[in-house]
Amino acid sequence: MSAKPLLDVTGLTKFYGQRLGCEDVSFDLFEGDVLAVVGESGSGKSTLLGLLAGELEPTAGHIDYRQQNDETVELGSLDEGARRALMRTEWGFVRQDPREGLRMAVTAGGNVGERLMAKGDRHYGQIRQRAGDWLEKVEIEAQRIDETPRSFSGGMRQRLQIARNLVTHPRLVLMDEPTSGLDVSVQARLLDLIRGLVTDLGLAVVIVTHDLAVARILSHRIMVMRRGRVIEQGLTDQVLDDPADAYTQLLVASVLAA
């Protein structure tokens, strides 16, 4: 494992006209590291995720990514094709609404297999076998491989989206509120699944969530945002058990009081 960070974010800033999205966000992310970005609605966490995914252009700052050959590239210097290729192979993005992260008219096997084909796999039988194996990993019966996500429940769609993203063993995964909108029992199973896969594959993850319980279960480090700025960051247990900033104290207290 390299001593250099996988992702080095420096001074990342985004303005929408005069309105602030996020300002001067900086952090490092190493292989196997899970960073939770928390904050209330409007805190800037979704803007930050959009910038990391290359879906938004930063007003200032830069994102450096260490490639598999150990060379570092600034993401803003990549053309659209190179960025898309990166997202299809070395990166994954698990979206809050799985309908945005899946091709709803394509079979479950096809959704997973597309990522393998993007990485160069061409043997149909092997692709189908690996897709079936991954469906079982995320607790979807392999015999449903030829069904489309339209016939799946919300929890199953989210698990399928996870399989689609992780089948290529990406080095970095972005997650946007992956358990939001699911009932409590489905959330718990999904969190257990994500935690196990992240650990087994040694993934680096940036997860955006408003739920401090999700952050505690999944992340090693936590970054608290408010009104577009980072107000506190550190080891997850340390920040949540002994928050230094008054706003973080309020967030933690609101969870304890619920």
Query: At 213, is the secondary structure helix, strand, or coil?
Result: helix
In a domain, 132, yes or no: yes
In a domain, 73, yes or no: no
Q: What is the pLDDT of residue 23?
A: 96
Q: What is the pLDDT of residue 189?
A: 86
**pTM for this one?**
0.93
- What domain range includes position 165? 98-169
Please state the rounded mean pLDDT for residues 126-153. Answer: 94
Residue 159 has pLDDT above 90, yes or no: yes
Q: What is the pLDDT of residues 96-105, one digit of tens each?
A: 999 999 999 9
Asked whether 20 and 47 are in contact (CB, 8 A), the reply is no
In a domain, 43, yes or no: no
In a domain, 86, yes or no: no
Using CA atoms, how far residue 121 sits from 82, 105, 125, 154, in Å, is 19, 22, 10, 29
Asked whether 222 and 215 are in contact (CB, 8 A), the reply is yes
Q: Which pLDDT band holds residue 256 (cuts at 50, 70, 90)?
A: low
Please state the rounded mean pLDDT for residues 28-45. Answer: 94
Residue 46 has pLDDT above 70, yes or no: yes
In a domain, 133, yes or no: yes
Distance in angstroms (rounded) separating the CA atoms of residues 174 and 143: 29
Total structural domains in the chain? 1
